[in-house]
Structure 1
Amino acid sequence: MHRTIACATAAILVAACGAPNDPAIANGSAPQASSAPVATDGRPFAVTPVTTLDSPWAMTFLPDGRMLVTEKGGRMLLVQQSTGGNAVTWPVQGIPAVDSEGQGALMDVVAAPDFARSNLVYFSGSVTGAGGKGVKLWRGRLVHDAEQGARLEGVTELFSATPFVSGDGHYSGRIAFAPDGQHLFFTNGERQKFDPAQDPKATLGKVLRLTLDGKPAGDPGLTARGFHPAVWSYGHRNLLGLAFDAQGNLWEQEMGPKGGDEVNLILPGRNYGWPKVSNGSHYDGRDIPDHKPGDGFEPPKVSWNPVISPGGLLVYTGAMFPEWQGDLFIGGLSSEALVRVDVNGTNASKGDQWPMGKRIRDVEQGPDGAIWLIEDGEGGRLLKLTKAG
């Protein structure tokens, strides 16, 4: 799976994390959402609310089926679904302070590929520092016991976007581990500054490749041309989804300007064009040249106008919906939708767009193949999608 760990036995993780056997202890909080499934309304899945959160941003599954969820304001939660279908949550201590103004947040969270052994968690967030604001990548070890609850120990900063600039938008901050287990990919948005996406010295508007310790490991061809040594691809805007498929292809989605939301196949060394080209326009109506054959820029595989405002990105690999294996699922923010993209090798096309009635911030796959969503904003719910009927 693109960001989840293959399911292992609960006994392994309980022993590793020191988690209490009784989910009601260690200050776990009671769920706030009804667990009754919602009518499908013609959709091919049933929707079960699991719990209510405060402006959730991202989620990741642990090998025993528990989850980590981040909230915009800077809180991380350990979530365990109970036998009744609801959830018990514990606040995770030890999280660095973040700047959550505007689009700032405690952002992505992903369990390390070897989490069952290491208990390591990678996460990102926006902060204030010299020169303005930017996004950082951290790593810490998850510990959970009855005496002290859930916490991250040994939190270390691995990478920081450069440069820090003014403003509160387009941080990005998505994380995906490479299939080789030796590298991770990290997105840095162009911070609503346009030109940094084409600046070889900046990490803004780029997909970055790093070692597991956060060392730059970008495309050698770009590095030889004077790019920042972490840069893998460039010419991006606000990259809010990143995922590998089973064939090792790296898919990315990003918000365009007025129109022009994109799904891209990320290839090393390629220039994806922003702000020189886009299938959308500036918010003030000024034209931006569209992608055209032979223009020297890598075109999107799929684009939307009107926009869907894409949130998180999932490559589906589960057994619950076998007809969708290998397809992309995107959370729609302004579109208040769950969006499916058909994938055929390295090609993609629009599939379904199901109305959800709320802004969808992130989408993830559970160990049993269920699709999980989080709604954006205060009171956003954690939702489980299962086969209808």
Structure 2
Amino acid sequence: MTRLVRTSLVLATALALAAPAGAHAPSATVTVDTPRAAAPTLQVRTVVRGLANPWDVQEGPGGRLVVSERDRARLSVVRNGKRRTLANLSKVVWVSGETGLMSLAVDAGSRTLWACHGSSAGGNHVQVTRWRVDRKWRSLSKRRTILTGLPSTSGRHGGCRLLLDRDSDALIIGTGDAAVGTNPRDLDSLGGKVLRVHRTTGAPMADNPYATASTARRFVWTYGHRNVQGLAQRADGTLWSVEHGSYRDDEVNRLVPGGDYGWNPVPGYNEAVPMTDQSLPGTQQEAAWSSGDPTIAPAGAAWVRGSQWGSLEGALAVAVLKDSEMIFLRFDDAGALVSVTRPQALARFGRLRSVTSARNGDLLVTTDNGTDDRVLRVSPR
């Protein structure tokens, strides 16, 4: 059911083919994966269906799941296989192209919900909004804008992923470049970035690289991104992003504070340039994984937790849109790629958008086919 890349020759060749243009090819010496338990057989169950472009799924309390639908601008609560509307946000969410009601973050204990969404208030842009949820998870109140002014034009590259930092009060926000070539390396643009703000106040985190600046760069954690679709925090506390490439080189990146990830599609919006352009001034951070040519359109991601996952424990599960699958990427402690696994059990549901690690270690996955979309629960057995 799965195929693990295990020999140094095969892995070195795969990595060399995936290297972005202009980058140095990886060394042909690759540490072979140490023996591990076999990859498990996967059980895939449909939790709910009848959705349209569900962008994210997060766990609430008491077995509840909270789901966002991009174009419907609808928040739903799913429990025991039944869906009910938590909020219709169509009056506050601007929907255009790839932009609408997108990523969610949920703190079940404080009944707090954050959403990243398009907004037309004061001109089209993307923003992050916070609400409180009532005790029965039936309504929202106390709306507050946490961060606004994330750039958007037509709605293209409006991808916005949220993640609650386990180790601080930070809300981490991955953004798209709005298909404007100057945004990714302009530190005072919020486009093409990973940002860190206080989850309650929206203030920049005090340990951000430019926290003392008076301009928008005070929110910036990393820059030089194209269109961030996924964020995940490893057990060691490190932050990782997933982003769409142009016609080549989708990327998984290990994030370092102040890091430049090398996307600079100028003049105009020149998508022929490398995703990680090593000809730029300064130091550019190479991707931990790259799709090579062509792209596969990876999206949401989550680290796999629990010994029940066998050889997949500790891998990064990445939902894939264009190639309609899920890939499991294993990295060593230093962040080097070790293996890639593509379970056939997850290659029969069409486009996959988001993946969230549930409290019991299961993976919660959304499909993104446009009609009769689902939330899936993936369990090892």
The TM-score range, normalised by the shorter chain, is 0.7 to 0.9
Distance 1:210 1:295, change over 3 A: closer
1:187-246 deviation line (CA, Å, top 9, x unaligned): 121101121111121111111110122112275543567762101110001001011111
Does 1:97 pair with 2:89?
A: no
Query: 1-side partners of 2:168 and 2:256: how far apart?
Result: 18
Does 1:381 pair with 2:351?
A: no
Query: 2-side partners of 1:101 and 1:241: how far apart?
Result: 20
Query: 2-side partners of 1:244 and 1:234: how far apart?
Result: 18
Query: 1-side partners of 2:117 and 2:68: how far apart?
Result: 10
1:11-68 deviation line (CA, Å, top 9, x unaligned): xxxxxxxxxxxxxxxxxxxxxxxxxxxxxxx983122122111221101012422110
Does 1:88 pair with 2:71?
A: no
Distance 1:360 1:218, change over 3 A: farther
Which residues of 2 match residues 53-202 of structure 1 at below 5 A? 53-72=51-70, 73-81=72-80, 87-93=81-87, 95=89, 97-112=92-107, 115-116=108-109, 118-130=110-122, 132-143=123-134, 145=136, 150-162=138-150, 164-202=151-189
- 2:45 pairs, out of 48, 51, 64, with 48
Structure 1 residue 262 displacement after superposition:
0.2
- 1:236 pairs, out of 207, 225, 237, with 225
- 2:312 pairs, out of 324, 332, 347, with 324
Distance 1:80 1:129, change over 3 A: same
1:166-204 deviation line (CA, Å, top 9, x unaligned): 211111221112222311111121101121111121111
Report the secondary structure of 2:134's partner residue: strand
- 2:198 pairs, out of 211, 224, 229, with 211
Point out the more displaced range, 206-215 or 171-180: 171-180
Point out the more displaced range, 71-80 or 223-232: 223-232
1:3 match = none
User: Which residue identity does 2:359 align to in structure 1?
Assistant: P
User: Which residue identity does 2:374 align to in structure 1?
Assistant: R
User: Which residue identity does 1:361 align to in structure 2?
Assistant: R
Q: Provide structure 2 residue ranges, at least 5 long, that are not aligned to the other structure.
A: 1-38
Does 1:359 pair with 2:355?
A: no
Report the secondary structure of 2:342's partner residue: strand
User: Which residue identity does 1:70 align to in structure 2?
Assistant: S
Distance 1:188 1:289, change over 3 A: closer
Query: 2-side partners of 1:289 and 1:76: how far apart?
Result: 34
RMSD: 2.5
Query: 2-side partners of 1:289 and 1:205: how far apart?
Result: 12
Query: 2-side partners of 1:367 and 1:344: how far apart?
Result: 24
Structure 1 residue 357 displacement after superposition:
4.1
Query: 1-side partners of 2:276 and 2:307: how far apart?
Result: 39
1:237-261 deviation line (CA, Å, top 9, x unaligned): 1001011111100010100101110
1:44-93 deviation line (CA, Å, top 9, x unaligned): 31221221112211010124221100001200001112xxxxx0111012
Asked if the contact 2:56/2:353 (under 8 Å) is kept, the reply is yes
Structure 1 residue 282 displacement after superposition:
5.7
User: Which residue identity does 1:304 align to in structure 2?
Assistant: S
Structure 1 residue 328 displacement after superposition:
0.5
The answer to which structure has the higher strand fraction is: 1
Query: 2-side partners of 1:337 and 1:135: how far apart?
Result: 28
Asked if the contact 1:60/1:69 (under 8 Å) is kept, the reply is yes
User: Runs of 4+ in structure 1 displaced over 3 angstroms?
Assistant: 218-227, 286-295
Distance 1:265 1:76, change over 3 A: same
Query: 2-side partners of 1:348 and 1:133: how far apart?
Result: 39
Which residues of 2 match residues 205-284 of structure 1 at below 5 A? 205-212=192-199, 213-217=201-205, 220-223=208-211, 228-275=217-264
Asked if the contact 2:111/2:135 (under 8 Å) is kept, the reply is no
2:25 match = none
Query: 1-side partners of 2:69 and 2:63: how far apart?
Result: 19
Q: Which has the higher contact order (CA 8 A, sep 6+)?
A: 2
1:311-363 deviation line (CA, Å, top 9, x unaligned): 11111123431432221111100010111110212314251123234000111
Does 1:337 pair with 2:328?
A: no
Asked if the contact 2:208/2:219 (under 8 Å) is kept, the reply is no
Structure 1 residue 378 displacement after superposition:
2.0
Distance 1:289 1:221, change over 3 A: closer
Query: 1-side partners of 2:216 and 2:138: how far apart?
Result: 40
User: Which residue identity does 2:372 align to in structure 1?
Assistant: G
Structure 1 residue 159 displacement after superposition:
0.7
2:298 match = 310
Query: 2-side partners of 1:178 and 1:48: how far apart?
Result: 29
Equivalent residues, number: 329
